[in-house]
Amino acid sequence: MANLKEMRLRIVSVKSTQQVTRAMKMVSAAKLRKAQDAIIQIRPYAEKLHEILVNLVNQNGAADFENKYAEHKEVKKILLVAITSNRGLCGGFNANVVKKVEELLLTKYSHYFQNGMVDVLAIGKKGADVFKAKNIPISGTIHQLYEGLQYSSAEKVAQDLMNSFETGEYDHIDLVYNQFKNAAVQKLIVEPFLPVEIKVEKPSHDDAHHYFSDYIFEPDVNEIMGTVIPKSLKIQFFKAILDSVASEHGARMTAMHKATDNASELVRALNLQYNKARQSAITGELLEIVSGANALKGS
């Protein structure tokens, strides 16, 4: 009964795969929680920073401040920062980022791309691999960022990006990443990073007291702007990375959940098939015995 044995082995192997995917799902769920906590942790900082920025602009008017990061230059060279993950098995998570970058290169930035004026920086191994496989030239990869992710390491990368903008190496920088909505939903977005747009929404009547403007500025407004803007850029970058990490775990959790479900379905179908084969084998054996006995009786 080689066939029955083969099927038994198959069932065992599917079951052990299911165990692996189930474990991976659990691990992702735990990591997702941690990643979500990190997002919540930076929220007070980010909100306060934004509030200070709004206060500064409100009191002094957005028009008359100058900052090297807010300068709109003639766009000659563009950098796309594609934030992906270091590990796979997370559904369409990485492929979506790569697809979006490809789409941008062929539509919005096609003119620049044809002249070789678009660089792609891949953060995360998986993205870099796919870009290579698709023959999309990348100017660099950064993948050590995710090992024990900290603000200080993300800050360094953000500072490098800001420096390359300042020196005029790039005149426009976009971030492409998965924004975290909830465990099951990620939203792929393209976010302009540099130059800075300072959005000042008119404070609604309810929080008018939040934004009253009678501050003493030390040393002076421009100096404060000069420290607050780089900070808010770094926070923006750090938040993008954190969002991407949380999305990655969310995507992996969903993918592994589906894989576990599929495995159960497969085990069910295989078991049915196995039992049918087993029963027909038994029926066959019984027939043999009975007909053997009959033959003996007849003689």
Partner 1 sequence: MYLEIITPEKKLFAGETDLVKLPGTNGSFEVLMNHAPAISTLSEGKIKVKEPNGNIIFFEIQGGVVEIKSNNIVILVDSSGLV
d(CA 88, CA 124): 10
In angstroms, what CA-CA distances link 262 with 138, 205, 223, 295?
36, 53, 59, 49
Under the criterion CB under 8 A, does residue 240 sit at the interface with partner 1? no
> Among residues 16 and 213, whose Cβ is nearest to partner 1?
213
Judged by CB under 8 A, which of 63, 216, 295, 296 binds partner 1? 216
Residue 218 CB, shortest distance to partner 1, in Å, is: 4
Residue 48 CB, shortest distance to partner 1, in Å, is: 5
Judged by CB under 8 A, which of 186, 238, 248, 252 binds partner 1? 238
Residue 106 CB, shortest distance to partner 1, in Å, is: 36
Residue 52 CB, shortest distance to partner 1, in Å, is: 6
Under the criterion CB under 8 A, does residue 217 sit at the interface with partner 1? yes
- Site residues for partner 1, window 21-40 (CB under 8 A)? 38
Q: How many residues bind partner 1 (CB under 8 A)?
A: 30
Helix (H, G, I), strand (E, B) or coil at 79: strand
Judged by CB under 8 A, which of 110, 114, 150, 283 binds partner 1? 150
Under the criterion CB under 8 A, does residue 50 sit at the interface with partner 1? no
d(CA 150, CA 155): 9
Residue 75 CB, shortest distance to partner 1, in Å, is: 30
d(CA 118, CA 136): 11
Judged by CB under 8 A, which of 27, 29, 52, 188 binds partner 1? 52
Query: Which range in 70-78, 83-91, 179-187, 208-216 contacts partner 1 by CB under 8 A?
Result: 208-216
Q: What are the helix (H) ranges across 61-114? A: 93-106, 110-114
Provide the annotated active-site residues. 90
DSSP 127-195: HHHHHHHTT---SEEE-GGGTT--HHHHHHHHHHHHHHHHTTS-SEEEEEEEEEEETTEEEEEEEEEES
**Count, residues in the chain:** 299
d(CA 10, CA 82): 40
Residues facing 174 on adjacent strands: 80, 192
Contact 220, 56 (CB under 8 A): no
Under the criterion CB under 8 A, does residue 228 sit at the interface with partner 1? yes
Judged by CB under 8 A, which of 107, 135, 152, 299 binds partner 1? 152
Under the criterion CB under 8 A, does residue 49 sit at the interface with partner 1? yes
Give the interface with partner 1 as residue ranges (CB under 8 A).
38, 41-42, 44-46, 48-49, 51-52, 55-56, 150-152, 155, 212, 214-219, 223-224, 227-228, 231, 235, 238
